[in-house]
């Protein structure tokens, strides 16, 4: 399966921004992972899979109102590799694995 891209604009009023950090809000990494999971489930047309985070790297802060491009690709064993970009800069990357039987 070829890589698939999804777009998401960070809502300026996203609840996670209020305390992270006052005066200079940035999107917490867990929000980026959550969006990657939402897009992985959309890509695979499945819901509520208990994904494991195999690895994650956060490379650049993201602020309110930024448009993010999520690139997802199905890898071996059902894993999903993801990368996130904002404009020309890399924001995050990692991989999600389905639960072990």
Give the total residue count for the chain: 101
pLDDT digits (tens, 9 = 90+) for 24-78: 999 999 999 999 999 999 998 887 778 999 999 999 999 999 999 999 999 888 8
pTM for the model stands at 0.93
- Domain residues of the chain, as ranges? 4-97
Residue whose structure tokens are 């924001």: 91
Question: Which residue shows structure tokens 């802060």?
Answer: 61
- The secondary structure of residue 101, as a DSSP letter, is -
Provide mean pLDDT across the span 8-13. 97
Look-up of token digits 């491009």: 69
Give 1's contacts (C-beta < 8 A, 6+ positions apart). 73, 74
CATH number attached to the domain at 4-97: 3.10.129.10
């Amino acid at each position: 399966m070829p890589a698939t891209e999804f777009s998401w604009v960070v809502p300026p009023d996203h609840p996670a921004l209020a305390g992270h950090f006052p005066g200079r809000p940035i999107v917490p990494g867990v929000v980026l992972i959550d969006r990657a999971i939402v897009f992985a489930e959309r890509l695979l047309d499945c819901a509520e899979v208990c994904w494991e985070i195999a690895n994650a790297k956060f490379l650049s802060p993201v602020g309110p109102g930024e448009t993010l491009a999520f690139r997802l690709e199905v890898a071996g064993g059902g894993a999903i590799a993801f990368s996130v970009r904002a404009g020309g800069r890399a924001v995050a990357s990692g991989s999600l694995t389905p639960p072990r039987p």
